[in-house]
């Protein structure tokens, strides 16, 4: 099992905790919420920007020296209704601070969770309407444009919530989001994530992406490439191989090594109720 260590920039003594993590906990990656306290936004006293040289660059230096180079950052999930409640946090929720940080620190990888997708907390139809009107999606389009704009290759997009929120309710939007991420970041820079704790068992999402294809009219209009077969290189890369490479994870050797979680899984497979396709969230109204 691999784990993050959550950074808390701005909090008193936060860099000391980073030092302790490097020495004691030895995490596989770092995780941060630029809005501060994402769970209790009303208490978020320490929002930050990734490109704040005074605050963040000393941390990046420590990350480089430690060899723990994957910096996983929660972005997006900040629909207009959320902005109305917490307007002061809005400037910290988008991806406008990612490009400079990635350019200044090419030794690190910036894994942007949810790919900055804004519309969680609103109806999926609102996200679809934005794309139909503009050909863009806040703030996922901005993320996808960072490599070309800043000349970087160390920015990655994760599909957590983004795919679950759109695949059933607005499948054309799911296809568009996949198309723009693959086109802008590269197929090898898109990472699987489910946020399944919020959306039900992950199996339905896996099946959804296996079956998803970008409609031909959308491919022609926006220059999106096909996603390809269910077990083709693009989807296999998204599901596993891209992350395997990022974390230098020899999956065959590691999966063959027995551990407590392997024992729990074996017991579940033997005695459990079997896989579930239970899903939480929006469904598309056929009417």
- Predicted confidence (pLDDT) per residue in 50-69, tens digit: 999 999 999 999 999 999 99
- Domain boundary assignment for the chain: 4-271
Supply the pLDDT for residue 279: 77
Tell me: pLDDT of 224 over 70. yes
Spell 193-212 as b/e; 16+ CB within 10 A means b. Answer: bbbbeebbebebbbebbeeb
Instruction: Fold for 4-271, please state it.
Output: TIM Barrel (3.20.20)
Total-model pTM? 0.92
Residues 6+ apart with CB under 8 A from 232: none
pLDDT in tens, 159-203: 999 999 999 999 999 999 999 999 999 999 999 999 988 888 899
Between CA 127 and CA 184 the distance in angstroms is 19
| Under 8 Å between Cβ of 235 and 194 | no
73 pairs with which residues across the strands? 32, 112
For 99, the token pair is: 């490009």
Q: What is the mean pLDDT of residues 269-284?
A: 75
**Range 136-141 contact pairs with CB under 8 angstroms and sequence separation of 24 or more:** 137/173, 137/176, 137/177, 137/180, 138/94, 139/75, 139/76, 139/93, 139/94, 139/95, 139/96, 140/76, 140/115, 140/116, 140/177, 140/180, 140/181, 141/180, 141/184
Percent of the chain residues topping a pLDDT of 90:
82
The DSSP output letter for 68 is -
């Amino acid at each position: 099992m691999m784990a993050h260590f959550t950074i808390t920039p701005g909090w008193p003594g936060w860099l000391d905790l980073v030092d302790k993590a490097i020495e004691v906990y030895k995490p596989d990656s770092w995780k941060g919420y630029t809005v501060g306290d994402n769970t209790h936004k009303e208490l978020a006293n320490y929002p930050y920007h990734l490109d704040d040289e005074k605050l963040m660059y000393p941390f990046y230096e420590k990350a480089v020296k430690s060899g723990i180079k994957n910096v996983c950052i929660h972005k997006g999930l900040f629909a207009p209704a959320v902005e109305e409640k917490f307007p002061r946090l809005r400037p910290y929720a988008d991806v406008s601070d990612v490009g400079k940080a990635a350019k200044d620190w090419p030794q690190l990888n910036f894994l942007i969770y949810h790919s900055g997708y804004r519309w969680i907390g609103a109806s999926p139809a609102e996200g679809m309407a934005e794309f139909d009107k503009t050909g863009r999606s806040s703030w996922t389009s901005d993320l996808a444009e960072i490599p070309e704009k800043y000349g970087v290759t160390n920015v990655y997009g994760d599909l957590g919530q983004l795919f679950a929120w759109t695949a059933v309710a607005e499948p054309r939007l799911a296809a568009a989001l996949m198309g723009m991420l693959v086109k802008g970041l590269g197929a090898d820079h898109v990472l699987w994530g489910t946020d399944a704790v919020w959306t039900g068992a992950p199996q339905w999402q896996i099946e959804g992406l296996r079956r998803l294809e970008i409609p031909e009219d959308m491919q022609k209009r926006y220059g999106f490439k096909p996603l390809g077969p269910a077990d083709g290189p693009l989807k296999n890369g998204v599901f596993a191989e891209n992350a395997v490479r990022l974390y230098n994870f020899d999956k065959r050797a590691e999966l063959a090594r027995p551990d407590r979680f392997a024992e729990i899984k074996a017991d579940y497979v033997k005695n459990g109720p079997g896989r579930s396709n239970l899903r939480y969230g929006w469904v598309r109204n056929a009417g």
